[in-house]
């Protein structure tokens, strides 16, 4: 299972050192918030390009925005591995096609209250499905165990339909539930505050991967 630290909980006044402290991770997760789809605002495309220059980790950009089509081209300039959009946003289908046209792997995500059925028609198109295990927009929330039922269902659908998308989970993942997450079939675990609250982050990432 891959580990993707969420930069949202890093110290942005010391960002270069923060990124160096997690260099053994597999991806770097960037949560982009517009203050509309979710109440908070994070950062824009210029910051994402600066982050790209400061790390060798592939970027995993999660757009928590109402109109993703308007945001994708700017964030594509950071050359991310993935750009993920919400099924609950406007024009999700158009957004996914645009991501693919730009040569970037496309992801679809859903809030905790949204059922898997809402994204079934998009599974043929995506490289990644992100299951939110907390309400999007705020760090430090408690993990919702019910999210693992979605993971298991996605794993089953992937096998039945012969698709190759990866399953990612985001929200409240830590050392006490990482085994459950892995056992359910998660391919990528996004972990924010749990990693950045540790003194030895390299050891923490190594332990999470075991």
The residues annotated with a catalytic role in the active site are 31, 170
What's the CA gap between 205 and 203, in Å, rounded? 5
141 burial type by CB count under 10 A (0-12 exposed, 13-18 middle, 19+ buried) = middle
Query: 140: Cβ–Cβ under 8 A, 6 or more apart, which residues?
Result: 9, 192, 193
Going by C-alpha positions, the residue among 150, 146, 138 that lies closest to residue 110 is: 150
Task: Show the CA angle centred on residue 153, arms to residues 209 and 105, nearest 5°.
Answer: 65
C-alpha Rg value of the chain to the nearest Å = 16
């Amino acid at each position: 299972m891959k580990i993707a630290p969420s930069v949202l909980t890093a110290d942005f006044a010391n960002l270069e050192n923060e990124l160096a402290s997690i260099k053994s991770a597999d991806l770097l997760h960037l949560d982009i918030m517009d203050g509309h789809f979710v109440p908070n605002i994070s950062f824009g495309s210029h910051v994402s390009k600066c982050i790209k220059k400061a790390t060798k980790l592939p970027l995993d950009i999660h757009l928590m925005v109402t109109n993703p089509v308007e945001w994708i081209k700017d964030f594509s300039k950071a050359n991310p591995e993935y750009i993920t959009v919400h099924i609950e946003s406007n024009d999700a289908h158009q957004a996914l096609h645009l991501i693919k046209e730009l040569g970037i792997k496309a992801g679809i995500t859903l809030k905790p209250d949204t059922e898997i059925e809402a994204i079934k028609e998009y599974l043929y198109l995506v490289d990644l499905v992100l299951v939110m295990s907390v309400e999007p927009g705020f760090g430090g929330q408690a993990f919702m165990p019910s999210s693992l039922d979605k993971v298991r269902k996605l794993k089953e659908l992937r096998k039945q339909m012969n698709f190759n998308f990866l399953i990612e989970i985001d929200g409240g993942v830590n050392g006490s539930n990482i085994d459950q997450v892995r056992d359910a079939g998660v391919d990528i675990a996004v972990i924010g505050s749990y990693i950045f609250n540790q003194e030895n982050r390299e050891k923490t990432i190594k332990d999470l991967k075991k």
